[in-house]
Structure 1
């Protein structure tokens, strides 16, 4: 087998803004594993808050060229690389390669049920309330909206989005911006607007701030939960976890993480980084048993790949074999 990898830049439609800043493009890393007439592909987006960059991810992937040439398996990959974006791209490429070799879709190889269309959240970027209200009005026909929050002034933002989209379900992502605030009181305010989930209210590593917090809205760990090793710390503090393949290090770990989380009584959300449909496709397979799905990373781009995943009115279709898996 031969390994190829490269960095690709994809423009964002407008700008994608969260509490940590704005993005006008995303750099993804694509790994290709070639075996005879088959090519397996996987895509990853560097997690900047872990210190990753597209360049560092590319270097990690290319460092596995000899292992790939020697017949690297998914099981071996789990111990050769730590969790993170490089392992995700390679893991997904290996799944895709196996699907093409055998003529069997990944969902069957993984022992999953056949994927069906899923409702995905659509993100309203962080901004002033009037801007967020306007964005919500253009998306008011969608069933589920996700709001980026920043701490100060969040009630005004949520109220504005609710005015713009009175019938949509709402989830919010604080992106760690509620550290030092009264989480239960902040959540109680948001119950007025029908918010059904709050992601990552406090900074990762300061999860003890949630000890004893009785939030009327479920709290989900995002930055605080990467893979199965983080579940013990999250249990009792969060009621849900957000699984992202780039954090977990691939589809293999993401499936195991979802199963173990449910066994522990935690609800599952499946999310993504900004990515093309090639990065979203494997995550879709984890989403079948998820309570919340947030796979709009490709929908926020100005353009997508050929054979891209199709979304209509918030309903995301499963990936086709020409794309992945």
Structure 2
């Protein structure tokens, strides 16, 4: 017999986290816990309004699975019972954690993976004025990989990247437009960003307009984020993007995320593993997926005023695999 509990939580962000769609000062997360034989597995998700998710709907969707979980629902059955998204992510990761605890074996071993290692994560700079972003970059200049949130294209975005490059001359740079650019801006802006040493451009166009990317020659590789969710639609991304950003809240958990990674590699798409602004509990399962990625962007806890305990260990931009007291 399994018991289910669900809790919405708020974690303050240091300052504010700003992207082209707006700013926030707290991370709102939902934690699902599944208990069996005195052992509890837990998973964390972030409801995301961009995909029509609300905190109330996510909590309700998780609670709807209470009887099925009590009856012994498996992870495979969960994939069929729930739509891809944040709610399924929390439950899927909770079931992985519970299975690991019941088996007395780490989750990576149950998944047939090699033992995870420490990874270098990108560190995100919020959208701001060029001067503000230059100052933020100077403070983070010791980090090897910075990810910049950009605005709506044009000279102002170029000025932001120039300012960051001045503040952090040796860092590798990724930029994330969060669907903010127009189709005609992509190649001209990419040429400017290539000049500034940018390694990757994430989601330049709105997902519904990204067919305009087919056949263009960008001097900087392009990465799908809002255009890439789970296994469905992967074929269409070939020829539009060079990379996909895999996030557990989009794939609906670790189970599908591992399948997405395999599918991406078969289709010659390279991979970034990303996150929402959330705690170490959300990062922990993503660490397993990130072992197979070209880039890890798992800095969510670094943006918080306080993380949960126990937490992942960060040493600068190096993030270590979770201890089993946290997850898995």
Q: Which residue of 1 aligns with 2:111?
A: 110
| Corresponding position: 1:236 with 2:248 | no
| Corresponding position: 1:186 with 2:189 | yes
Question: Cα distance, 1:156 vs. partner?
Answer: 0.3
Q: Which residue of 1 aligns with 2:33?
A: 32
Q: Which residue of 2 aligns with 1:216?
A: 219
Kept after mapping to 2: 8 A contact 1:119/1:315 = yes
Kept after mapping to 2: 8 A contact 1:136/1:164 = yes
**Residues of 2 paired with 1:219 and 1:47: CA distance?**
23
Write the mapping of 1:1-325 to structure 2, written as runs, cut at 5 A: 1-150=2-151, 151-152=153-154, 153-325=156-328
Q: For each residue in 1:169-196, what CA deviation from the matched residue of structure 2 results, as whole angstroms up to 9, or x when unmatched?
A: 0000010011233311110110111100
TM-score by length of 2: 0.98
**Residues of 2 paired with 1:73 and 1:218: CA distance?**
39
Kept after mapping to 2: 8 A contact 1:183/1:213 = no
**Residues of 1 paired with 2:29 and 2:86: CA distance?**
10
Question: Cα distance, 1:21 vs. partner?
Answer: 0.4
Question: Cα distance, 1:206 vs. partner?
Answer: 1.2
**Residues of 1 paired with 2:198 and 2:179: CA distance?**
17
RMSD of aligned alpha carbons: 0.7
Question: Cα distance, 1:312 vs. partner?
Answer: 1.3
**Residues of 2 paired with 1:134 and 1:47: CA distance?**
29
Structure 2 unmatched ranges of 5 or more: none
**Residues of 1 paired with 2:11 and 2:316: CA distance?**
23
Kept after mapping to 2: 8 A contact 1:244/1:271 = yes
**Residues of 2 paired with 1:181 and 1:282: CA distance?**
38
> Following superposition, which runs of at least 4 residues in structure 1 exceed 4 angstroms of deviation?
none
Segment of structure 1 superposing worse, 127-136 or 146-155: 146-155
**Residues of 2 paired with 1:163 and 1:207: CA distance?**
31
Aligned residue-pair number: 325
Q: For each residue in 1:229-269, what CA deviation from the matched residue of structure 2 results, as whole angstroms up to 9, or x when unmatched?
A: 12112111000100000000000000000110011000000
**Residues of 1 paired with 2:55 and 2:324: CA distance?**
26
Kept after mapping to 2: 8 A contact 1:47/1:247 = no
TM-score by length of 1: 0.99
